[in-house]
């Protein structure tokens, strides 16, 4: 599928255009792909999971690759982009009313919940993007820039009022994202080593480390 066609497909995706049967196939594909990988999955398995005839899949998608690029990407853009932006924007709008610690804690917990709820989809997109560039391009072009714009704007406002040190804005944004993603990945893949307490307490500690560091400043003599 050409990049132009793919972008048109993504932009054209809406609730009216995505039939209920397609959604069932999509949910089944996400489940099977996340468990077995794209190459290790068969359309017959997806059809069984979706409780449809295998021929129904090919009614909408000519090949398994079309199913991956033509169905998974529009859903990831349609559902993840609004969710990523809307709830984050609502939280950051309260920035002037609440302490920085509380805002960041709420933001991190919200992102954690969003990622956990969509883990099979995110896992599939990220893993398959290693082998299929067309999966990653729409995310790079349409999701990441919006997230960074929102986060950079938040960081800049706190640099201006003196809450944050005058480090490079993108460095601060990247550090925030790295702390959260590192926690999610490590606690999910190696829970026996990295899952310490319940999420809320760990996020609270992560925010404290981000804002105050780990060095014991103690009393100056």
Cβ neighbours of 72 (radius 10 Å): 21
State the pTM of this model. Answer: 0.73
Contact between 65 and 134 (Cβ < 8 Å): no
User: Which phi and psi angles does 13 have, rounded to 5°?
Assistant: -75, 125
Structure tokens at 116: 């956990």
Position 62 scores a pLDDT of 85
In sequence order, the 6+-apart residues with CB closer than 8 A to the CB of 173 are: 148, 151, 152, 155
Nearest residue to 147 via CA among 68, 209, 92:
92
Position 61 scores a pLDDT of 83
Say which residue the tokens 């989809």 belong to: 121
3-class SS at 163? coil
Q: What is the mean pLDDT of each run of 10 residues along the chain (221 residues)?
A: 45 54 84 89 92 88 82 64 72 75 90 82 81 80 84 92 93 94 87 81 92 78 49
Rounded to an integer, what distance in angstroms lies between the CA atom of residue 175 and that of residue 157? 17
Rounded to an integer, what distance in angstroms lies between the CA atom of residue 16 and that of residue 12? 10
Contact between 196 and 202 (Cβ < 8 Å): yes
Position 7 scores a pLDDT of 46
Q: How far is CA 141 from CA 61, 86, 87, 138, in A?
A: 24, 18, 20, 5
Contact between 29 and 123 (Cβ < 8 Å): no
3-class SS at 220? coil
Position 220 scores a pLDDT of 52
Rounded to an integer, what distance in angstroms lies between the CA atom of residue 15 and that of residue 175? 36
Position 170 scores a pLDDT of 96
Position 6 scores a pLDDT of 41
Q: Alpha helix (H) ranges present in 17-118? A: 20-36, 43-50, 54-60, 64-67, 73-75, 81-92, 100-117
- Where exactly are the structural domains of the chain? 3-212
Long-range contacts of 168-174 (CB under 8 A, 24+ apart): 173/148
CATH code, 3-212: 1.10.357.10
């Amino acid at each position: 599928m050409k990049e132009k066609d793919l972008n048109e497909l993504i932009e054209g995706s809406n609730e009216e255009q995505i039939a209920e049967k397609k959604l069932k196939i999509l949910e089944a594909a996400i489940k099977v792909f996340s468990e077995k990988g794209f190459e290790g999955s068969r359309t017959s398995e997806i059809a069984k999971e979706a409780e449809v005839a295998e021929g129904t899949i090919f009614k909408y998608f000519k090949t398994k690759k079309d199913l991956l690029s033509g169905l998974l990407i529009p859903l990831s853009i349609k559902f993840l982009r609004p969710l990523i932006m809307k709830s984050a924007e609502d939280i950051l709008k309260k920035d002037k009313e609440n302490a920085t610690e509380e805002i960041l804690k709420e933001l991190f917990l919200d992102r954690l919940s969003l990622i956990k709820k969509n883990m099979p989809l995110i896992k599939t997109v990220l893993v398959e993007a290693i082998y299929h560039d067309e999966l990653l391009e729409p995310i790079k072009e349409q999701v990441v820039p919006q997230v960074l714009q929102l986060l950079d704007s938040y960081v800049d406002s706190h640099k201006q009022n003196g809450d944050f040190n005058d480090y490079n804005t993108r460095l601060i944004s990247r550090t925030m994202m790295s702390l959260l993603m590192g926690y999610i990945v490590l606690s999910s893949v190696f829970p026996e080593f990295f899952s310490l307490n319940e999420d809320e307490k760990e996020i609270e500690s992560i925010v404290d480390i981000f804002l105050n560091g780990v060095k014991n400043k103690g009393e100056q003599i």
